[in-house]
Amino acid sequence: MASVPANISFNVCLSDFSFSIYNDLHKPNNVCLSPFSLAASLMLLMMGTNGLSRNQLKSVLFRKGLPTGDIDHNYKVLHDNLLRKTRNTPGMQLSIANQFFVAKWQVQRLKYKFRRSARRNYGCQVALMDFGDEPYTRNVINRWIEARTGRKIKEFIPDGMLDQLTFMIITNVVYFKGQWKSKFDPKKTTQRDFWMNENKKVMINMMWQKSTFKAGVDMDLKCKAVELPYKGDNISMVIILPNEKEGLPELEKKLSTLTFDNLVKRLLSRPTELVLPKFKIKAKIDLKAILKGLGVTDIFEALKADFSHMVRSRDQKGELYVSDAFHESVIEVNEEGSVAAAVSSIFMLLRSARPSTFEFVADHPFLFVIRDISSGTILFLGRYCNPEITAMNHIKKISTTLSESSLLSASENKTTKSVEGAEIKTVLTKNKKTVSENQQDECCCLGECSASDINSSAHTEEKTES
């Protein structure tokens, strides 16, 4: 990795990461993920690592080379540009939030430089939590996530995930709601066949419209593609449909930053008859196995994880490690437009000629990409192949190597008398004392809030949504 020149743009690096992670997933059914959310969580985590732990994360995020310039500043510029372009666009809503939920007895162990960089570059706030009060704390965090995803993601953290050894949860939330520039007429939505494979078809609601879109055929990828812009022309959804009913796996193997960019560049504006399913996908992905498979191993092992850029400690290496990582995302596409949300949390514990009409009938499995047009940043990426799996009865767990939730844990043997384990148990008892005034004064310059503040904020946002 070190021998690769640092001459690749940050946006290209993120695009490479998007397709790499997607291709590393085991995809038996519908898939939806937010590579942007995943990357933000991993970069926040990487900022606190050192040595081999940092190099392993870097090799996954930037497989083909390091981006030019400072990584964290590059994220800030991209983040700010995305929000600026969508802020005043009618019919468009994009929100991005980063948050540290930290054990209130441990917050002073976070290094000032780490917290300052997280705040300046990622807008990351700090919330003080009592992880010993598991039901209350879990409810507060879940309500915070729910409020920032338009109520699309609920109960992200399950019962039993938190305990007194939880040090910190790093969370990134991305929420997007956009109206089509050219809407579908609901009266023209009809039941049509959708072929799951050559031998099986089901009747589903398919939207129809005839309008002008960028569309075309790629002979190398053996597919058709159409780009549907949202209002404001800043963000679009690209639908990629293989020529064959069972051609999706082969298409996915060929998909990369280069092939996708070449495909989009060749699309021509033309009259298009478009038939597209109404669909909703909700997927929860366990990313720990995939990261390990990609070579990110040290952060998951108590004696190897090095988070010395994150915490103050007498024995920084081997005290914290990542125990779990999860990513959950939701997308809903209908006549008006689409709504998509994703949450990533890292749980840290101690220890040519234009044809008259181009036909695009998405009546078999296809890929979809929601992207920022100017930068090429992929906000959401997925596949739709099984209409029989509804969002109401299905949250698909997909084996992967990344996660939106990572738990930094103390030593797995919680009964040991090691220095780090003893420190954790001492400060994370169910003592109801609050942090002293002096401690608060030292930390508040970097934007902390209590669990009650978070709860109040979530409640206010829920009322605003309704």
pLDDT at 177 exceeding the cut of 80: yes
Are both 59 and 135 inside the same structural domain?
Answer: yes
> For residue 389, is it within any domain?
no
Are both 377 and 418 inside the same structural domain?
Answer: no
> For residue 295, is it within any domain?
yes
Are both 39 and 63 inside the same structural domain?
Answer: yes
* 8 Å CB contact between 311 and 319: yes
CA dist., res. 252 & res. 202, Å (int): 23
pTM score, two decimals? 0.83
Highest-pLDDT range among 3-7, 282-286, 349-353, 390-394: 282-286
> For residue 418, is it within any domain?
yes
Residues 210-233 have a mean pLDDT of 96
* Range of the structural domain that residue 140 is part of: 10-175+284-351+400-465
> For residue 331, is it within any domain?
yes
CA dist., res. 178 & res. 357, Å (int): 26
- From the list 397, 304, 460, the residue with the least C-alpha distance to 30 is 397
Are both 270 and 135 inside the same structural domain?
Answer: no
Are both 255 and 268 inside the same structural domain?
Answer: yes
CB atoms within 10 A of CB 341: 28
Are both 276 and 288 inside the same structural domain?
Answer: no
Are both 145 and 289 inside the same structural domain?
Answer: yes
What SS3 state is found at 143? helix
> For residue 214, is it within any domain?
yes
**pLDDT band at residue 4 using 50, 70 and 90 as cut-offs:** very low
Residues 271-293 have a mean pLDDT of 89
Give pLDDT, residue 225: 97
Domain count, the chain: 2
Give pLDDT, residue 64: 82
pLDDT at 280 exceeding the cut of 50: yes
Share above pLDDT 70 across residues of the chain, in percent, rounded to a whole number:
79
pLDDT at 350 exceeding the cut of 90: no
CATH value at residue 74? 3.30.497.10
Highest-pLDDT range among 4-13, 230-239, 391-400: 230-239
> For residue 390, is it within any domain?
no
Are both 214 and 320 inside the same structural domain?
Answer: no
CATH value at residue 203? 2.30.39.10
* 8 Å CB contact between 214 and 379: no
Are both 196 and 315 inside the same structural domain?
Answer: no
Are both 72 and 203 inside the same structural domain?
Answer: no
> For residue 394, is it within any domain?
no
Are both 288 and 372 inside the same structural domain?
Answer: no
Residues 257-266 have a mean pLDDT of 95
What SS3 state is found at 33? strand
> For residue 2, is it within any domain?
no
Residues 266-275 have a mean pLDDT of 96
Give pLDDT, residue 394: 39
Per-residue pLDDT reduced to its tens digit, 97-143: 999 999 998 888 899 999 999 999 999 989 999 999 999 999 999 99
CA dist., res. 97 & res. 171, Å (int): 8
Are both 444 and 409 inside the same structural domain?
Answer: yes
Give pLDDT, residue 44: 93
